[in-house]
Chains A and B, each alone.
Chain A
Amino acid sequence: MRTVLKNGRVVDPSQALDQIADILIEDGRIAAILSPNSEQADAEIIDISNRVVTPGLVDIHVHLREPGFEYKEDIESGSRAAAAGGFTRVCCMPNTNPAIDSASVVGHILSRSAQVGYSRVHPIGAATRAMEGDQLTEMAELQEAGVVAISDDAFPLQNSETVRRCMEYCAMLGLPLLTHNEDKQLTHKGSMNEGGVSTMLGLPGMPRVSEDIAVARNILLSELTGCHLHLLHISTAGTVDLLRKAKAKGLNVTGEACQHHWALTDKACLNYNTDAKMNPPLRTQEDCDAVIEGLKDGTIDCIVTDHAPHAEYEKEVEFDAAPFGILGLETSFSVAYTTLVLTGHINFSQMVMLMSTKPAALLNLPDGAGTLKVGSVADIAVFDLNESWTVDRKAVQSKSHNTPFHGMKLQGKTCFTMLNGRKVEVN
């Protein structure tokens, strides 16, 4: 079967490509990139004039909630939300129930996501059994079953000895360790960033230093063990600085940022909006600026969503009692385009690099993820960069509605994605 994506602007940083071209897809793979309006016999033609076409976006940090919390989200709704946001691959965090700490859970996620077919799903294994922070998981078996990394996300490891052992084991297997960086003693019962806004709202704060301290410890342990340390959801200027220094030193440390950590500040929590409650919390403008700077100068390697759905009734409670986490998959591309590209911080090709090429490379995702090079699997995203739209929390593919971007006007929207050269039908 042959398909031609005709006359689109092809942006693929993996081969420094930004030009109007036709993409020929054969048997699910990129067969050729041709001059526009090429003549192709016996091919299905999809005209994408005035659209951009990129390698499918890759989000290495989502929570799909299955198994265990299907009332918030499941693999079907979550991967559909991913497709709606331009993602062809997502990596799901292990804080499910049961946690992703056994080959059978990995197998379930892989088979279920393949069956659903909206986007590819790569599971991330838990660092410790049941994410309890004690005994290491059987990481070799998890790796064989298909996990692409190990993480303690949502249950940050507090014991430095455990982190060390975990890194040693990950380093042996060549698995990256993805850490949620938080000193729980310092965040205590905090529910938002500690600062002027938390003082005004009378909410217990989570100081920025609680992240910085954990980051510093984890970087030192990475240096000791040689493990590839990847810092999840960087939210503070301090972390950006520590990561920059670690990279300058040549350490095997990388990092990611979520759209809300540069596009929103803790002021979004005014009126006790629980849709603006996540962990790490929204910080200050100074931190947002540092994150943007980190994205610009390459200190921060990729953009992720930390897509974390919660049911309406769970969020419709006292701010203290509301769970941490917000949606991300369906707004990420547009938020990044509106707040990073249209503002001139980075160009569109850099944005695609941060949202596809680099995250795919960081976790060594298979089958030519994050590229449109000839021979790669045809996982593709097509966007309309001219379309303006307003985020409506009710109009989402996700099962949940907890987005702080509700009501925000954004530019750039997903037209469709393709998996294996086949158009994904979201609706």
Chain B
Amino acid sequence: MMNLLTLRETSSDQIHYLLDTALSFVEIINRPVKKVPNLRGRVMVTLFYENSTRTRTSFEVAAKIMSAEAINVAIAQSSVSKGESLKDTLRTIQALKADCIVIRHSSSGTAQFAADHLQIPVINAGDGRHEHPTQGLLDMLTIQKHKGDLRGLKVAVVGDVAHSRVARSNIWGLTKMGASVTLVGPSTLMPHDVSELPVTLSTSLKQGLEGADVVNVLRLQTERQERGLLPSLREYSKLYGINSRTLRYAKPDALVLHPGPMNRGVEITADVADGLNGIHSAIEEQVSHGIAVRMAALYMLMSVPSSSVAQQMGDRI
């Protein structure tokens, strides 16, 4: 595997391997001294064309635990308005001797574009509404920890599915591992054609959550309302908000996930978010698992085969 661009193109074997590796790294991040030498001397560059706190920080923490150098390049505007083309920026970073580029961009397909133009590995940290594979993996790792095997589980993904890269990575990752996925949301925020996706759709929260083992609540971008896709946040919240009452549509032990950042009171209520009153919420745990998953991805794509290290050392002697 050269890149991590999508879960659609990642095989179930590779997903297994990444999840198993990540699981073994969970132990490391819980140590008081969080440092392993695996990626010493390697350089990870995060290239973010969109604002992000948690994903970028998560990659940075993951790299540092693995002893890699983490360099952050943040570009507020898209390459188009900036003058330099994305291709030139990417090739410049490669020439600066990065060993891996982690890219986030508002245009779908940008990670693929980067991979097409670079020799070094590319990790997709979110491209437009396309995919966010490490988020999909950390969701799966979290579900696995709580539910054991992913096979046969029913996962409901609730909210702004049409614009969500988290939803797409969930769909491919989970179904490859044998879970089923139902998308729930208002028709204006649902994809118009899901013929190429292995999912079922529901515009009714009650129906969509029925029998769900996991409820993955998506963030509602408030600008959707401005574009006329929603009458009001109030009505959205009334129809699709996850609270202790609506959560009862799902299985009693249903696990609640949210990729963050949350709009408390819009798509999720505080008691559900915080796991009060016996609700199984794993939202903070997802964040920690994100580090482990990104460590696994970096390890898989950036580690130098021991033979070539020995070769180098031999050359010096």
Interface residues of A, Cβ cutoff 8 Å to B? 194-205, 207, 271-272, 313, 316-321
CA A24 to CA B134, docked complex, whole Å:
71
**Nearest neighbor of A198 in chain B, beta-carbon distance:** B193
Judge whether B246 is part of the interface by a CB distance below 8 angstroms. no
Judge whether B1 is part of the interface by a CB distance below 8 angstroms. no
The interface size bin for chain B is 20 to 34
Interface centre among A198, A201, A202 (most CB of B within 10 A): A202
**Are B105 and A271 in contact, CB atoms less than 8 angstroms apart?**
no
Contact of B79 among A196, A313, A318 (CB under 8 A): A318
Interface centre among B191, B193, B197 (most CB of A within 10 A): B193
Residues 202-225 of chain B, each 1 if its beta carbon lies under 8 Å from chain A, else 0: 000000000000000000000000
**A313 touching B85 in the complex, CB below 8 Å, given contacts A196-B196, A205-B192:** yes
**Are B131 and A202 in contact, CB atoms less than 8 angstroms apart?**
yes
Which residues of the partner chain B approach A196 to less than 8 Å between Cβ atoms?
Answer: 193-197
Closest Cβ of chain B: how far from A64's Cβ, in Å?
A: 26
Which residues of the partner chain A approach B86 to less than 8 Å between Cβ atoms?
Answer: 317-318
**Are A317 and B109 in contact, CB atoms less than 8 angstroms apart?**
no
Contact of B112 among A204, A272, A320 (CB under 8 A): A272
CA A320 to CA B78, docked complex, whole Å:
11
**Are B107 and A321 in contact, CB atoms less than 8 angstroms apart?**
yes
**Are A199 and B108 in contact, CB atoms less than 8 angstroms apart?**
no
Judge whether B129 is part of the interface by a CB distance below 8 angstroms. yes
Which residues of the partner chain B approach A318 to less than 8 Å between Cβ atoms?
Answer: 78-80, 86, 105, 107, 109-110, 113
Closest Cβ of chain B: how far from A257's Cβ, in Å?
A: 23
Which residues of the partner chain B approach A321 to less than 8 Å between Cβ atoms?
Answer: 78-80, 107
**Are B128 and A272 in contact, CB atoms less than 8 angstroms apart?**
no
Interface residues of B, Cβ cutoff 8 Å to A? 8, 78-80, 85-87, 105-110, 112-113, 117, 127-131, 165, 168, 191-197
Contact of A202 among B87, B113, B128, B194 (CB under 8 A): B128
Enumerate the 6 nearest inter-chain pairs by beta-carbon distance, A residue then B residue, closest first: A202-B130, A272-B109, A196-B196, A318-B107, A196-B195, A202-B129
**A207 touching B192 in the complex, CB below 8 Å, given contacts A201-B130, A317-B85, A320-B128:** yes
CA A194 to CA B192, docked complex, whole Å:
8
12 contacts between A and B (CB under 8 A): A194-B193, A195-B195, A198-B193, A201-B109, A202-B131, A202-B168, A272-B113, A316-B85, A316-B117, A318-B113, A319-B108, A321-B78
Which residues of the partner chain A approach B112 to less than 8 Å between Cβ atoms?
Answer: 271-272
CA A195 to CA B117, docked complex, whole Å:
28
**Are B196 and A320 in contact, CB atoms less than 8 angstroms apart?**
no
Interface centre among A194, A207, A318 (most CB of B within 10 A): A318
**A202 touching B193 in the complex, CB below 8 Å, given contacts A316-B85, A318-B113, A320-B108:** no
Closest Cβ of chain A: how far from B235's Cβ, in Å?
A: 23
Known: A199-B194, A318-B113. 12 other contacts (CB 8 A): A196-B193, A196-B196, A197-B196, A199-B197, A200-B8, A202-B128, A202-B129, A313-B85, A317-B79, A318-B79, A319-B108, A320-B106
Closest Cβ of chain A: how far from B94's Cβ, in Å?
A: 16
Closest Cβ of chain B: how far from A262's Cβ, in Å?
A: 21
**Are A319 and B193 in contact, CB atoms less than 8 angstroms apart?**
no
**Nearest neighbor of A193 in chain B, beta-carbon distance:** B193
**Are B108 and A203 in contact, CB atoms less than 8 angstroms apart?**
yes
CA A321 to CA B127, docked complex, whole Å:
14
Report whether over half of chain B's contact residues are helix, strand or loop; otherwise say mixed: loop
Contact of B108 among A202, A207, A316 (CB under 8 A): A202
Which residues of the partner chain B approach A317 to less than 8 Å between Cβ atoms?
Answer: 79-80, 85-87, 113
**Nearest neighbor of B164 in chain A, beta-carbon distance:** A202
Which residues of the partner chain B approach A205 to less than 8 Å between Cβ atoms?
Answer: 192
Which residues of the partner chain A approach B196 to less than 8 Å between Cβ atoms?
Answer: 196-197, 199-200
**Nearest neighbor of B81 in chain A, beta-carbon distance:** A321
CA A318 to CA B112, docked complex, whole Å:
10
Contact of A199 among B80, B117, B193 (CB under 8 A): B193
Contact of A203 among B79, B117, B128 (CB under 8 A): B128
CA A313 to CA B83, docked complex, whole Å:
13
CA A272 to CA B128, docked complex, whole Å:
13
Which residues of the partner chain B approach A197 to less than 8 Å between Cβ atoms?
Answer: 196
CA A313 to CA B88, docked complex, whole Å:
10
**Nearest neighbor of B8 in chain A, beta-carbon distance:** A200
Which residues of the partner chain A approach B8 to less than 8 Å between Cβ atoms?
Answer: 200
Which residues of the partner chain A approach B106 to less than 8 Å between Cβ atoms?
Answer: 320
Closest Cβ of chain A: how far from B117's Cβ, in Å?
A: 8
Interface centre among B78, B168, B196 (most CB of A within 10 A): B196
**Are A319 and B109 in contact, CB atoms less than 8 angstroms apart?**
yes
Closest Cβ of chain A: how far from B172's Cβ, in Å?
A: 9
CA A324 to CA B81, docked complex, whole Å:
18
Interface centre among B80, B87, B107, B112 (most CB of A within 10 A): B107
CA A7 to CA B140, docked complex, whole Å:
71
**Are A203 and B193 in contact, CB atoms less than 8 angstroms apart?**
no
**Nearest neighbor of A314 in chain B, beta-carbon distance:** B85
CA A343 to CA B78, docked complex, whole Å:
45
**Nearest neighbor of A195 in chain B, beta-carbon distance:** B193
Closest Cβ of chain A: how far from B168's Cβ, in Å?
A: 6
CA A199 to CA B196, docked complex, whole Å:
8
Interface centre among B78, B108, B165 (most CB of A within 10 A): B108
Which residues of the partner chain A approach B128 to less than 8 Å between Cβ atoms?
Answer: 202-203, 320
Which residues of the partner chain B approach A207 to less than 8 Å between Cβ atoms?
Answer: 192
Which residues of the partner chain B approach A204 to less than 8 Å between Cβ atoms?
Answer: 129
**Nearest neighbor of B108 in chain A, beta-carbon distance:** A202
**Nearest neighbor of A199 in chain B, beta-carbon distance:** B191
Which residues of the partner chain A approach B193 to less than 8 Å between Cβ atoms?
Answer: 194-196, 198-199
**Are A202 and B85 in contact, CB atoms less than 8 angstroms apart?**
no
Which residues of the partner chain B approach A200 to less than 8 Å between Cβ atoms?
Answer: 8, 168, 196-197
CA A22 to CA B117, docked complex, whole Å:
54
**Are B78 and A203 in contact, CB atoms less than 8 angstroms apart?**
no
Closest Cβ of chain A: how far from B113's Cβ, in Å?
A: 6
Closest Cβ of chain B: how far from A183's Cβ, in Å?
A: 15
CA A194 to CA B79, docked complex, whole Å:
25
CA A42 to CA B100, docked complex, whole Å:
73
Closest Cβ of chain A: how far from B60's Cβ, in Å?
A: 25
Contact of B127 among A194, A195, A202, A271 (CB under 8 A): A202
Which residues of the partner chain A approach B195 to less than 8 Å between Cβ atoms?
Answer: 195-196
CA A196 to CA B197, docked complex, whole Å:
8
Closest Cβ of chain A: how far from B193's Cβ, in Å?
A: 5
Which residues of the partner chain A approach B130 to less than 8 Å between Cβ atoms?
Answer: 201-203
Closest Cβ of chain B: how far from A321's Cβ, in Å?
A: 5
**Nearest neighbor of B172 in chain A, beta-carbon distance:** A200
